[in-house]
């Protein structure tokens, strides 16, 4: 798979790679976003971990159409990525799993305002190992068989924040506190459930879809958490802004939307 060698998982090692690729890229592109670029460019895209498979598939389609542009992906929790960008980590585009993380960058004038759009929607579900039975209400999580429950750290992981809202709506967050195992991102939570290190976990519906050894046992009502929206924007200071705009335009096309929907996301229609 073409993208396997171009993931940056964490800023430490990732920063070195990103700086290397950034140094090799052109400082600007003179091509209009709607046309195939004649100059080569490298785009570094910091994206929420829950987007990993979907955005890589979209990226493959993009590079097939725009072969002179190379995409490098930096995946992590949205909070971690936000802080990396604030600290100067190279990035041309940010795709967050929470509005608050994007707004934090916006408040510091770190995004390009006219590129800021809402891209996708998702939902929160509870998952458990495959042989587990579904539950009809969250109160079942107080049972002894659910000794350990994983969720993302609510302070830095959007999926964890949404999960806390869901549990708070049932007055369960404090009651279950001694059972919680916090993950640094939603993919770590998924891994905890897949490896049976926990008895249940809260993830996005799209993550659950990719889990072979677990199943959804409960779907949270959208009324019990904030809207799960993935905003996107180009980063102020990008040296490949024309190419970044071109990629953002591509994400609004039908081929890109179709790929996202195949991975369980809901594409937001008001892209222009």
pLDDT digits (tens, 9 = 90+) for 77-132: 999 999 999 999 999 999 999 999 999 999 999 999 999 999 999 999 999 999 99
Q: For residue 150, what are the β-bridge partners?
A: 181, 201
The band of 67, judged by pLDDT with boundaries at 50, 70 and 90, is: very high
Q: What's the structural domain count of the chain?
A: 2
Say how far apart CA 268 and CA 29 lie, in whole Å.
28
> Which pTM was predicted?
0.76
Domain membership flag for residue 135: yes
Domain membership flag for residue 272: no
Q: Which domain holds residue 156?
A: 124-224
Same domain? For 261 and 214 the reply is no
Using one digit for the tens of pLDDT, what is the confidence trace for 5-60?
355 544 444 444 444 444 444 433 333 344 444 578 999 999 999 999 999 999 99
Same domain? For 6 and 117 the reply is yes
Nearest Cα residue to 163 out of 106, 205, 117: 205
Same domain? For 155 and 91 the reply is no
Domain membership flag for residue 104: yes
Q: Which residue has the higher pLDDT, 220 or 22?
A: 220
């Amino acid at each position: 798979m073409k993208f396997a060698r171009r993931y940056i998982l964490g800023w430490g090692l990732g920063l070195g790679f990103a700086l290397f690729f950034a140094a090799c890229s052109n400082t600007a592109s003179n091509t209009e976003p709607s046309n195939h670029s004649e100059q080569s460019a490298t785009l570094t895209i910091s994206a929420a971990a829950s987007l990993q498979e979907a955005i890589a598939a979209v990226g493959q389609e993009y590079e097939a159409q725009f072969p002179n542009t190379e995409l490098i992906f930096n995946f992590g929790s949205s909070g971690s990525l936000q802080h990396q960008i604030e600290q100067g980590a190279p990035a041309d585009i940010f795709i967050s799993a929470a509005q608050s993380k994007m707004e934090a960058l916006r408040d510091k004038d770190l995004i390009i305002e006219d590129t800021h759009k809402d891209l996708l929607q998702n939902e929160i579900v509870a998952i458990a190992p495959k042989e587990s039975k579904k539950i009809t209400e969250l109160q079942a999580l107080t049972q002894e068989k659910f000794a350990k429950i994983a969720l993302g750290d609510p302070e830095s992981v959007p999926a964890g924040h949404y999960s806390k809202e869901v549990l708070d709506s049932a007055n369960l967050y404090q009651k279950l506190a001694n059972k919680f195992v916090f993950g640094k991102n939603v993919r770590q939570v998924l891994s905890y459930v897949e490896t049976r290190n926990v008895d249940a976990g809260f993830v996005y519906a799209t993550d659950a879809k990719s889990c072979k050894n677990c199943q959804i046992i409960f779907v949270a009502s959208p009324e019990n958490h904030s809207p799960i929206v993935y905003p996107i924007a180009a980063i102020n200071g990008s040296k490949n802004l024309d190419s970044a705009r071109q990629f953002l335009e591509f994400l609004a096309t039908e081929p890109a939307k179709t790929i996202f929907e195949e991975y369980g996301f809901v594409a937001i229609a008001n892209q222009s």
